[in-house]
Amino acid sequence: MININKKIFIQSNKNYLYDKFKVYWIIFLCLLLLIISGISVCIGSVNIPVLDLINIIYDKILGNINPNSNFDVIIFKIRIPRVLLAGVVGFALGMSGSTYQGLFRNNLADPYLIGVASGAALGATIIIVSPIPLYFGVINLLPLGAFLGSILCVMLAYLISYQSDSLTLTTLLLAGIAISSVCGAITALLMLSSDPNIRPVLSWLFGSFTSARMEHVLLVLIYIIPSFLFILSFSKFINILQLGEDHAILLGVNVEYVKKGLIIAASLATAGAVSFCGLIGFVGLIAPHMVRLIWGTDYRYLIPLSSIVGAILLILADLVARTILGASELPVGLVTAFCGGPFFLFILRYQRKYRFK
């Protein structure tokens, strides 16, 4: 007993202020992210030779008009926005996944824990199934519906669990699960009672970056940058919260304030991410776990690291989704589940072997 305590003490003492090693890892992962993004821009269902690609980018920078406008459109209006959106969404999912896991002190937590996903699904399904046109002027109503749905669901769960000046996390969790199941039932009902051709709803529910645009990336960034800065600045409090709320209060943390702030920031980031690309499962769950298994549980590093890992994973998954079938697309959510599951199992196994040696 005493030994274990001592070990924890020594470890936390060592990591207390500044971990050079992990900062290097963050820089390395950022570089890896850049390289992977660059590679994914080069690969796609339309084969563009690397020399042409370099020429197009060179011309774009110099402001020349490229004679081969098809390739130009494909690179700048389809591929680059798509890779960027995948990266940004993966970043958001990794970030809110690790935040929720720290906040709820539950390893099964993921960004969709308290109703974001099912609320977004319901909002999107209502927009697709109902006779409302998809476009209102130039505004696409689908992401708007998804965003409103997810925010309303989280707010409902939040209000239900917010009793007499304190936010009980267990109640929030259960309220989120209950609201999720109700929303899931309404979504299924809407799908059953609509036209049999429900493919658009399905491809949205499985997540897809097919219609990614530059504006989408910017809109998602508006939610993600403030949330990221907020969560990062509060990450040391998540570390303290791991001791339990009572201990955190004793240590001088304003627990209520921290909890509320983190939930709002993480939910906003997830809702913003989900609204443009649908429900992409698993990334928000496995990215923090991978980071935790490799680099430890210090949330000051866990949150930025798992955000970057989430971005890398999702860019790779989207690369597979858009190239593996040639001319047609696979929903990226299927790819994350198919590839992410076995990979995660491998990491679990590796970690077990490592630990018991």
Which residues contact other proteins by CB under 8 A?
44-46, 69-70, 73-74, 77-79, 106, 108, 113, 133-135, 138, 170, 173-174, 177, 180-181, 184, 188, 191-193, 195-200, 202-206, 208, 210-211, 213, 281, 322, 325-329
Rounded to the nearest whole angstrom, what is the least distance from the CB of residue 286 to other proteins in the complex?
Answer: 13
Distances (CA, A) of 97 to 140, 165, 273, 285: 27, 26, 12, 6
C-beta atoms surrounding 338 within 10 Å: 14
Would you say 11 or 181 has its CB closer to other proteins? 181
Contact 172, 157 (CB under 8 A): yes
Alpha helix locations (H) across 162-298?
169-192, 199-205, 214-233, 235-241, 245-250, 255-277, 283-295
Q: Which residues pair with 216 in a beta bridge?
A: none
Spatial distance between the Cα atoms of 157 and 227, rounded to a whole number of angstroms: 20
Q: Rg (Cα) of the chain, in Å, rounded?
A: 22
Would you say 13 or 193 has its CB closer to other proteins? 193
Rounded to the nearest whole angstrom, what is the least distance from the CB of residue 182 to other proteins in the complex?
Answer: 12
Contact 173, 110 (CB under 8 A): no
C-beta atoms surrounding 357 within 10 Å: 5
Q: How many CA atoms within 13 Å lie on the side-chain side of 14?
A: 10
Residue 246 burial (C-beta neighbours within 10 Å; 0-12, 13-18, 19+): exposed
Would you say 50 or 108 has its CB closer to other proteins? 108
Would you say 278 or 304 has its CB closer to other proteins? 278
Rounded to the nearest whole angstrom, what is the least distance from the CB of residue 345 to other proteins in the complex?
Answer: 15
Rounded to the nearest whole angstrom, what is the least distance from the CB of residue 112 to other proteins in the complex?
Answer: 9
Contact 126, 190 (CB under 8 A): yes
Rounded to the nearest whole angstrom, what is the least distance from the CB of residue 194 to other proteins in the complex?
Answer: 9
Would you say 88 or 173 has its CB closer to other proteins? 173
Would you say 136 or 346 has its CB closer to other proteins? 136
Rounded to the nearest whole angstrom, what is the least distance from the CB of residue 9 to other proteins in the complex?
Answer: 25
Rounded to the nearest whole angstrom, what is the least distance from the CB of residue 353 to other proteins in the complex?
Answer: 24
Rounded to the nearest whole angstrom, what is the least distance from the CB of residue 106 to other proteins in the complex?
Answer: 6
Residue 224 burial (C-beta neighbours within 10 Å; 0-12, 13-18, 19+): buried
Residue 184 burial (C-beta neighbours within 10 Å; 0-12, 13-18, 19+): middle
Phi first, then psi, for residue 286 (nearest 5°) are: -85, -30
Contact 295, 309 (CB under 8 A): no
Rounded to the nearest whole angstrom, what is the least distance from the CB of residue 225 to other proteins in the complex?
Answer: 24
Would you say 64 or 69 has its CB closer to other proteins? 69
- The tokens for 124 are 């999107």
